[in-house]
Amino acid sequence: MKKKRMLHNLLTNHLIPGFYKLDDFSDGQVIAAENSNSKIRINIYFTPEKIATANCVPILTGDHFARNGIIHTVEKVLPIPTRTVADIIAGDVQFSVLKRMLSRAGLVQALRNPNKTFTIFAPTDSAFSYPYLERETNTNERCTVSVMKHHIIDHTICSSAIPQFAKSLNMIGELLSLSRDEYNKLYVDDVQIVVRDLVATNGVVHIIDGVLSTRQAKSASEVLEEYGLNEFLSLLEAANLKKLYDSFENVTFFIPSNEAIRALPAGLIESLMSNINSLFSVLLYHVADGTAQIKLPEQIFNSKLQNTSIKVQVHSSVISSCCSSSISSVCSSFESWK
């Protein structure tokens, strides 16, 4: 009797009341199955060919008319989602780090929202390296939010919809690269998707074997290296300030460009290098408390060098002939001036 009931539930999970041709389906449409305890989510993708899925299972052929309805064939048995994406992560012991970070970022309740859909690229505990765990423990909440949102897309992307190469915006507005290689392996930003399509009531979870790196969560020294600010980075290393710069939270860095440092009077750099205390003070002076964009004609920032401040003045004549770039990292902001 129990097996018959299970078979009955399985079959009715594949049956929806009503007459739906393929063209009647729309992306994101949720239809209650004949089994009232389950629903079927339809997703439609153009990659560029049209792909339709039911609970992330590709619909292979459709519109086979019968006397009492219409039949669509699917690639495999449809999964029956019973949990939200947040509950899938919360209920799996291999996601203890991810669960803790999502909670710290205040995203758990949002990921339980039944009226929205999400795709989560979920690193397992083994995917988090020890240095990353150390950074996660010491980082501030804004950074944790950025790291977590970097792993989330606010719509459903089933694995069958990933072509050889595509991009999709995540929740912090950065593009994630999605790709499929010749061996049918899937990747997000070169990190492999090792388990696909854990279907939830409000989206899908893909398990990945690494942590996706976002520029907003990189250390100060990593961003300096990424943008080629090697002259300033060399001074940090000489003054043994690299770790201190990386440990700052909620600060604004004013970083001279390579050209600005090379243009200093002859012998000044050598003099500073021979007097580490002076070099330490100069470098510390370039860090201001707080993260703020420069919007007013004149702003004053308190410097990390005790009893000093940084006055920033913006002149229209300078704006047209000089350029600055603002870089966000470690939940801090950088201003690089030429």
Q: Which single residue is written with the structure tokens 């299972």?
A: 57
Cα–Cα distance between 264 and 105 in angstroms, integer? 43
- Give residues with Cβ within 8 angstroms of 113, minimum separation 6: 84, 202
Radius of gyration of the chain from Cα atoms? Answer: 26
Report d(CA 246, CA 286) in Å as an integer.
Answer: 14
Q: How far, in Å, CA of 241 to CA of 162, rounded?
A: 44
Residues in CB range of 88: below 8 A, 6 or more apart: 198, 200, 205
Residues 124 and 209: beta-carbon distance below 8 Å: yes
Please tell me the predicted confidence (pLDDT) of residue 320: 33
Least confident of 152-161, 164-173, 219-228, 289-298: 289-298
Q: Is 175 exposed, middle or buried (0-12, 13-18, 19+ CB in 10 A)?
A: exposed
pLDDT of residue 250: 76
Name the amino acid, one letter, at 60.
Answer: L
Q: What pLDDT does 157 receive?
A: 97
As a whole number, the mean pLDDT across the chain is: 85
pLDDT digits (tens, 9 = 90+) for 238-247: 888 888 888 8
pTM (2 decimals)?
0.72
Report the greatest alpha carbon distance in the chain.
92
Lowest mean pLDDT among 26-30, 124-128, 240-244: 240-244
CA nearest 97: which of 118, 134, 130, 124?
A: 124
Q: Which of 204, 238, 233 is nearest to 221 (CA)?
A: 233
pLDDT tens per residue across span 35-92: 777 899 999 999 888 999 999 999 999 999 999 999 999 999 999 999 999 999 999 9
In tens, the pLDDT along 247-276 reads: 887 788 889 999 999 998 988 988 888 888
Report the percentage of the chain scoring pLDDT > 90.
Answer: 52
| Stretch 137-164: mean pLDDT | 86
Angstrom distance (rounded) from CA 190 to CA 161: 17
pLDDT digits (tens, 9 = 90+) for 176-196: 999 999 999 999 998 999 999
Show the tokens assigned to 203. 């989206």
| Confidence check: pLDDT of 116 > 60 | yes
